[in-house]
Structures are given as structure tokens and as C-alpha cells.
Structure 1
Amino acid sequence: MVNGWKTKKLGEVAEVCMCKRIFAHQTSKIGNIPFYKIGTFGKEADAYISSQLYEEYKAKYSYPEKGDVLISAAGTLGRTVVFDGRPAYFQDSNIVWLKIDKSQLCNDYLAHYYKVIKWASSEGSTISRLYNGIICDTEILLPPLEEQAAIAEALSDVDSLISSLQKLIEKKKAIKQGTMQELLTGKKRLPEFSGEWNQFRLGEMTEIYSGGTPSTTISEYWGGSIPWMSSGELNNKKIYDVEGRITQKGMQNSSAHLIPKYCVLIGLAGQGKTRGTAAYNYISLCTNQSIAAIYPNDKKFDSRFLYYIIDSMYESLRELSSGDGGRGGLTKGLISNLEIYMPEVPEQQAVAQVLSDMDSEIEQLEKKLAKYQQIKQGMMQELLTGRIRLVDADVKKSPEAHMVREKQHQPTHNQHFDDAVMIAGIVNAFYSEKYPLGRKKVQKLLYLVRRKEQADISAFHKKAAGPYADEIRYKGGEPIAQKNKYIQVKRSEKGSRFEKGVQMQQALTYLQDWGKQGDVDWLVSQFQYTSVNELELLATVDMAICDLRREGKETSVASIKDLIHSNKEWRDKLKKAYFKDADIQRAIKHCQELFPDKEG
């Protein structure tokens, strides 16, 4: 047992309570007081009771206090809602709460502890209902009240972060949906594009094939090296790998065939969500017969643009395939006859890039959300069992000694050392054996994170590969990071490659202690899959915007180009393929979103 903790049964520290029973004839579909049944618990109420009945029952019978933790005793067992105190009534016996002994237990702690309880009978068997006796016999670990509060606060902070990320993801998805509706229909045009859109029949532009499934009774057809995709994997949207593998023999003895990369894939069959779902493959693979592959044709269309067009047609494709013509499924004929409006290929590519960038941002946020959810699970396992303590008994006895220890652990540092630690954080986050991390990318990321922090960027100058800081390379962060073995820099004919050093963990500890890990997380969420050329474009345009703001000049593609052209070292940038007007316009918008009203 953890020092200072106790094991108690819930029945020893609380009493199970429930509301008075409400009968069907006492409810209505409209009213003042929402009545939550087990089916609407935690959702929108679909029944109401009168204010008069509510006041009467609230006064006469058990009723929760604000902060009490309501729990489902039927249906999906153990779902919880913290009562916010607003007038509402709850179905008796199906929704209950504990009236706690506040000298032993706090509701905030209980709300988190409920999430790790595995409800079962006293014999350990699974149950279909949480009877009062089962709840009362369930054991709970109880630290002192002060520690309960600290644990609850720590876990609630992570919950708030998770909730804010979920809201941000939904907002980004809504923005993307609106952008698709505008850019894929021509209602809104990207700068520099104004030509007419033309209508094409899909079957006239490219080839369309469906796949096949080798016999599942012949083992030598399966377990080979050829990727084989089932229709359920369409929901992954971007296909970098699939679960199935078939052999050459399996492919030859079925209607399966190898399709090239960059096809638009469409689900043909099924009454679930799969029919009409679009995906895009980044590897060559085979598919089953319920998937159609629209082959790429670079001369006539951009495949990514077509993917977004088809993806936006989900509902209309399902409607098309639900009638007699489709007999409950799409066919190659129906897909071939689809009429698609498209601009010229360069505009298609620009639109696809905008939407792809938005997808990448959402993907990074979703990965970050999954990471925080995983962290939350780990924290619960550690904090609710006492393996990690948030209240240190020794600290209580000698807070002055604790402050001295904390101060001793804080290293002295300056801008050069800050850069060394940040470079280590960048290498740790962005290093990949498959995609070498070079100095140019590290410098651009370091520039961008300084902008995010609203820190001094005067060390960065307008070099050919710039913004670029010689100081950081030769006498600042980079040599310090190497000397301290946070990183190692390997040189080859292709240039310098940054890799993790044996003392990397020390630098990561500094990042955490100084509150800088969030800045690295921001870089990852924004730029994990951004190319070096794109980073050069973004950093160059941002530095130009900063200069224009200081001079009181308007930011536009023309003014950015004029500023770049006026600098001898930067002038040749305008000859690069990724510094076209549309690219600069996109970078201006991105910079304004990243650094609103922030000057360097």
C-alpha cells in the first residue's frame, strides 16, 4: 500500500442515490425541464417534465448537487457526466450518483477514478447492470484529500487540452469542407487563375479498372509480397500501406491486377459507409472487386485534384448507386459516365496543394490528439495507483530545501545554449533514416520557431538559402549541440546530415523544464511533412513580410517579389519553380495565419 493511501469500498465513503421515478405520462416532447433517460444520457434530451413536477420532486426526494458525478447503471455501464447544476431530471435506477463523505473523498477525484474501474460482480463475473450492491462493494484507492485534488487537477488539465484539440480539429475540418466547396466548384479562384472550366466525362480522360480476390481456399495464393487492399481500408483515405498480401500466383489466377501509384479509388458496393468512399493510393497495389481504380493521366488532370472532386461527391455517388441503375452498388459504367468540371492542370495542382496542406495540418493535429490521449491513459495508471506522487511529504516538511534543490537543477543558459537545445529538439522530432535531415531544414525550422515565440531573428540574414544564420552554425547553437553530444552531424557528398546524439535525452529534459517542448510540438504539427523547398519559400516570404511591415508597406505578391529581387543574394530565388506567383500568394496566406500581426 502506498504511504498515506487507504483502500476503501465505495459503500464506506458514499451512498448511492437516484432521482424519483418518472412515468411516461408525466413527460412530454417539449417543455422546460429536460428529462434524461439512459438512451439520452450525456446527449440531448428528447423528453421533458413540467417545472412544477421538477420543483416538487427536487424538494421531496434525492437530487444531485452541482459537481456530483452521475453514472450510467444500465446500457453502456460506467459512462459518467459531472452534473453542472442546471435544472434537469434523471431516470431513476438507470442513472445514479454517489453522495460522498467529503472528509474522505472529493468528486473531482472520483470522476477520474471511475474511468479505471472495471465493473464486475463480487465473484468477478461480467454484469449487465450496475446494482447498488455492486457499486458499494467496489474498492477505490484513496490518497489524502490534498493529493486527490492535485491528481484531479493534473488529469483535468490534460482533459482540457484534449478537448481543445478536438474542437480545433472539428474547426479545421469545417474550414476545409468550406474551402472544398469553393475551390472545387470555381466559386472562388486562387490568385493568378482566371480561365474557363471545362466539362469532361471521366471515362474519356482515363482508364478505370476494378480488382479481384484470389480464392481464399488456396493457401499458396496468400501471404506473398504483393499488397492487396480490401474495401474497408478505403476509410483510411490516404493509402500508404494495406494489411493484405497475395502471391504472384494468386494475382495471376484471379481478376486482381497491380494498379499504379496515385490512382483515385472508389468503393463500389456495400450498404454501409464504404460505397462511394474515395481514397488515394501512394503505393502500387491490388484491390478487391469492390474497389474501382481511376488511373492517373498527368496530361489531362491532376490525380489529387480528381480525388478531392470525387471525395466531395460522396452523397451524390451513393444516391446514384441506390436506384435501379446502380442496383445498390456503383459500377465502372456509372463512374465512367460521371461529368466532371475542371480548370486547366496548373490550377488543379494549385487547388490540390491547398487542400493537401489542410489535410496534413488536420492529420498532424489528430496524431497530436492521439498522443495526448495516450499520455492521459498513462497518467491515470500512474497517478491513480500512487506509482507517481504529486504531493511530496518531504517538501511539506522543508519547502525551503525543495526550492534550493529546484534552483540547483536549473542550468544557466543564454541564446546560444537555447539554440543548441532547440536544435536537439528539432533533430529528435524530425530525424528520419528514410528522409535525411539537413542543415537547411534545421535552420528554417529554427527561424520559424523563433517567429512563433516572437523572439529576436536578427541573427538570420538574407542568404541564397536564407533566412540563414551563420552565427548559429559556426559559433552558436549547432557547435554547442555537437560538443554536448545532443546531436551529431555527418557529412557526405550530398551535404550535412543531422542525427541524434548520445546525450539527446539531456537536451530534451531542458526543453521540458524550460517549457519549450510545446514549441517543438508546434513545429511538428505545422511542418512535419513540409519539404525543404516549401520551408525556404515560407521563411523567405515571412522575412519579407516583416521587412515590409517595418517599412509601412503593403504586403502583396508584387511587393514580396520586388523585395526579393532587390537583394542580390535572394534574387535568384524568383527563378526557382517553387517561387511562382501562386506559391508566394499561398505562402503569404500561410504566414499571416501562423504569425498574425507579429513582426520579427
Structure 2
Amino acid sequence: MTETNTASGPVWPEKSLAQLGARVTSGSRGWAKYYSDYGDLFVRITNLRRTSTRLDLSSPRYVQVDPDDAEARRTRLRPGDILVSITADIGIIGLVHKTVPDPAYINQHIARVRLDPKLADSRYISYFLASWAPQQRFVGATDQGAKAGMNLTAVANLTAAVPPLAEQVAIADVLDAAVAQIEALERLIAKKLDIKQGLMQELLTGRSRLPGYSGEWREVRLGDVGNTYGGLTGKDKNDFGRGDGLYVTFTEVMAGPRLVGNRLERVRIRPGERQNQVQKGDVLFNGSSETPEEVALASVVDFRPKPGTFLNSFCFGYRLENRQGIDPGYLAYFFRSAQGRMMVSALAQGATRYNIAKTKLMHLSPLLPPVDEQQAIVAVLRDAEDEIGALQRSLTSARDITTGMMQQLLTGRTRLHLGAAS
């Protein structure tokens, strides 16, 4: 069943979910009184996602309800049920897999579709409804207004291109295998991110020392060993996207502790504005954010910028005068660690948007190991990041391949070779 061949045969018939024996219902209102810190799973729209038919149960809601209650029986989920969001952001598709806890229920913003298994494979139908063309129709309907919605009759009238049941099963099996690979990569990346976070907590606080290092840690006042500088000011919208200058964006500074310069933007620099150019080894900070926890996230300039490279006006830079005692890459990691975040968030000020003055940063005195240990810690953390980056690229590739497979298999452009069964 792994061989494929292109087909130019007849298009599969379009059938409504009702023609596939669908029994459609939605969840009940008024379940808030049953909310609990534990109990039975209560599925909401936030548990559905457009990138996958698998439910996202990372932020579950629970209810305590009598399973024999009439509404509980009516809205209880079973493996194979298809879920469709029917209010606001309509048409997000989910499938209830065997791994979903039982019992589980849905709220009034979700329709539950239970197909006749003799007529359709619910996995195939969920993949089809979540594919590009049906989703574009849902998105178009949602864009018509904030009160967009679907009634249960409209859900029952949703259509799918339906091949013979054996071919539905075969297609679903292939896509399930591809999705399983994606989910395995997602779990591995999450695990590696947790490991990296743990490394930062241990190594940047001195709770754990790398083998061979035992030197004394000392407090270093940043204002004693370096100076800050500001970003571009006095620019208007006509200066951006043109000119011979370059600037580091706000989002790139916030993205990670290592800035490699692959997303610089063009900017027009006028006479007299060529001071404070970004240099390799500078530590850049975002100066404002919507939350105090995200103020002054640090990123070290880890490439050699071209002359005429500047910093966004919402950011500021820090340049060491003498790097013999501090590795700038270590500082970038430190100010992204839990300890560093506590230090800078305490300095943040604001109401709707939080800011930090660069002069206040100069009064901070982080506890630092000897510079050779700093450099060794940076090397360990960068190795971990490189491994995560490689896995993320593999994940992107796997998602692209799966999307392509869906386009081919769900439209009949590529047919699975079923052997004698076909």
C-alpha cells in the first residue's frame, strides 16, 4: 500500500456529511457551574488548531458532572468523532483520538459530527475538512464579520470528495504516519528546550559547574566595564525600506540570544546620523514591551555588521570597553535566564506598555564566573541551540512534505496502489 501512481480518472463524488450518515450535535450552555480543577475533560475552541486535527490539550479545562445526566450523555465524545468550531473563528477541525481522556465533553461553540463508519473513515474526512480548499472557505466566512457562525444544518451540509472506503482508510493511514513523525519531532524539540532551560538555570547561577572549572564568581557592575548607546531616532516611514543603511529590527533582538544578521532591514541614513553603529560583540536589548517579563531581552551581535548598520529606536545597545573579564555572549544568555529576568523586570516602568531606561541597566551587578568559564558555558548552550535548530528545520520540512501529501492524496492527484483491493 506504499506505492503511488498518478491518476487521471474520474473525480471522486462530492458527498455531504449528512449523506455519510452524520449525526451532528453541539455542546451545552451553562457548563461554567461544573468547572473544576480536576475531573472530566471539557473541550473548547482553544483546544482546536488549524495546523493539526489533533486536539491541543496543553491547557485543559475540567468539569465535574454526572455522566448519566441527559446533556452529558448527548455531548459526550467518542473516538472517531469530528469536531468543528461553529462560532467566531469557524471551521477549525479536530478529531477525537483514542488517546483523548474518557469521558470528555464539548461546549456550545463546537459541533460534534459522528459519521457512519460503514460509509466513511472519520480520519479521512477530518483531514479533508482541514485541508487547504475547505479551510479557505471557512476563513472567508469568518472574515465576513465578528459574529460569523454556523448552525448544525450547515455543518451537516459540509461536503467532502469521497473515494471508496478502502482508499479513505489507506489515505488516512499514510497521513497518520506522517503526522506521527511531526508529533514525535515536536515532543523531542519540547524536551530539548526543557533541557536547555535547565542547563541555563544550573550553569548561569553556579548551581552546577562544568568539569574543570572552580574559579571564584564575582559581582560586576555593568557601568564599570561598558557603556550603552541608543538606536535610530527621528526616522519616519519614508526612511524605511530604502537607502544604503541597515538596521537591526526590534523583533530580531527579541527572537533569541544570538543575532546573526540574516533579517536586517534597509533604512535611509541622513547626514550626521552615522554615530552609534552596531558592532560585533555588542549586546542589544529591547527597551520596551507589553509585559515587564519581556523588557530588556538580550541578544549578542554574533556577526560583523557592514558599515552603516544601526539599531532600531525601540532598542539600545551595550558595548564592553574591556572584554577580558566578560564574554558578551554570556551576558546575552544571563539576561534571558530566570535570574536575569528578575533583575531587569524589577526596573521596568509603565502602565499599558513597560519600558526600561538604559541608564538603569548600568547599575546592575550580575554575579559572573571567570571569563573562560563564561565562554565554556556559552559553548554548551550554543551546542544545545544548534541541536534544537536542526530539529526545527526537520520539523518544518516534515510539515511541508505532509502538506504536499495532503494536497496530492486528498484531491486524487496521486492515488495509492491498493493491489487486489482496488
TMscore range, shorter length: 0.7 to 0.9
* Aligned: 1:111 with 2:137: no
Question: Which structure has the highest strand share of the two?
Answer: 2
| Counterparts of 2:38 and 2:326, CA distance in 1 | 56
Give the match for residue 196 of structure 2: 176
* Aligned: 1:55 with 2:68: yes
**Distance verdict in 2 for CA 1:354–1:68, change over 3 Å:** same
Amino acid at match of 2:103: P
Q: Find the partner of 2:333 among 297, 308, 322.
A: 308
| Counterparts of 1:381 and 1:288, CA distance in 2 | 41
Q: Is this contact kept in 1: 2:119–2:165, CA < 8 A?
A: yes
Structure 2: where are the runs of 5+ without partners? Answer: 1-7, 49-55
**Distance verdict in 2 for CA 1:82–1:199, change over 3 Å:** same
* Aligned: 1:91 with 2:98: no
* Aligned: 1:161 with 2:181: yes
**Distance verdict in 2 for CA 1:274–1:242, change over 3 Å:** farther
Count residues in correspondence: 387
Give the match for residue 314 of structure 2: 290
Q: What is the CA deviation profile of residues 262-317 of structure 1, one whole-angstrom value per residue up to 9, with x for unaligned ones?
A: 22111112324652211122242311232121224432222211211122145314
| Counterparts of 1:367 and 1:206, CA distance in 2 | 37
Amino acid at match of 2:219: Q
Q: What is the CA deviation profile of residues 24-72 of structure 1, one whole-angstrom value per residue up to 9, with x for unaligned ones?
A: 5862435643444445665445452422xx2132797465432212222
Give the match for residue 246 of structure 1: 267
The alignment's TM-score, normalised by the length of structure 1, stands at 0.59
The alignment partner of 2:366 has SS state of: strand
**Deviation (angstroms), 1:243:** 4.0
Give the match for residue 389 of structure 1: 415
**Distance verdict in 2 for CA 1:274–1:245, change over 3 Å:** farther
**Distance verdict in 2 for CA 1:15–1:213, change over 3 Å:** same
Amino acid at match of 2:94: V
Give the match for residue 298 of structure 2: 278
| Counterparts of 2:91 and 2:41, CA distance in 1 | 21
Amino acid at match of 1:178: G
The alignment partner of 1:55 has SS state of: coil
The alignment partner of 2:119 has SS state of: coil
Give the match for residue 149 of structure 1: 169
| Counterparts of 1:274 and 1:32, CA distance in 2 | 34
Q: What is the CA deviation profile of residues 173-225 of structure 1, one whole-angstrom value per residue up to 9, with x for unaligned ones?
A: 11111111111122222222111112110111122212123421655x76123
The alignment partner of 1:295 has SS state of: strand
Give the match for residue 250 of structure 2: 231
Q: Is this contact kept in 2: 1:72–1:80, CA < 8 A?
A: yes
Q: Is this contact kept in 2: 1:10–1:136, CA < 8 A?
A: yes
Amino acid at match of 2:19: E
Q: What is the correspondence of 1:193-592 to structure 2 with a 5 Å cutoff? A: 193-216=213-236, 219=239, 223-237=242-256, 238-239=258-259, 240-247=261-268, 249-250=269-270, 252-254=271-273, 257-272=276-291, 274-281=294-301, 282-284=303-305, 285-296=309-320, 297-312=322-337, 313=339, 315-323=341-349, 328-392=354-418, 395-396=419-420
Give % identity: 25
Give the match for residue 5 of structure 2: none
Structure 1: where are the runs of 5+ without partners? Answer: 399-600
Q: Find the partner of 2:94 among 77, 81, 90.
A: 81
The alignment partner of 1:118 has SS state of: helix
**Deviation (angstroms), 1:255:** 7.6
* Aligned: 1:17 with 2:60: no
The alignment partner of 1:389 has SS state of: strand
Q: Is this contact kept in 1: 2:124–2:172, CA < 8 A?
A: yes
**Distance verdict in 2 for CA 1:31–1:19, change over 3 Å:** farther
Amino acid at match of 1:70: L
Give the match for residue 132 of structure 1: 152
The alignment partner of 2:262 has SS state of: coil
Give the match for residue 4 of structure 2: none
**Distance verdict in 2 for CA 1:57–1:33, change over 3 Å:** farther
**Deviation (angstroms), 1:22:** 4.8
**Distance verdict in 2 for CA 1:218–1:256, change over 3 Å:** farther
Q: What is the CA deviation profile of residues 362-388 of structure 1, one whole-angstrom value per residue up to 9, with x for unaligned ones?
A: 111111111111111111111111111
Amino acid at match of 1:302: D
The alignment's TM-score, normalised by the length of structure 2, stands at 0.81
| Counterparts of 1:323 and 1:210, CA distance in 2 | 18
| Counterparts of 1:98 and 1:226, CA distance in 2 | 56
**Deviation (angstroms), 1:147:** 1.3
Amino acid at match of 1:118: Q
Greater RCO (CA < 8 Å, at least 6 residues apart): 2
| Counterparts of 2:170 and 2:405, CA distance in 1 | 13
Give the match for residue 13 of structure 2: 6
Amino acid at match of 2:369: P
**Distance verdict in 2 for CA 1:328–1:369, change over 3 Å:** same
| Counterparts of 1:382 and 1:218, CA distance in 2 | 44
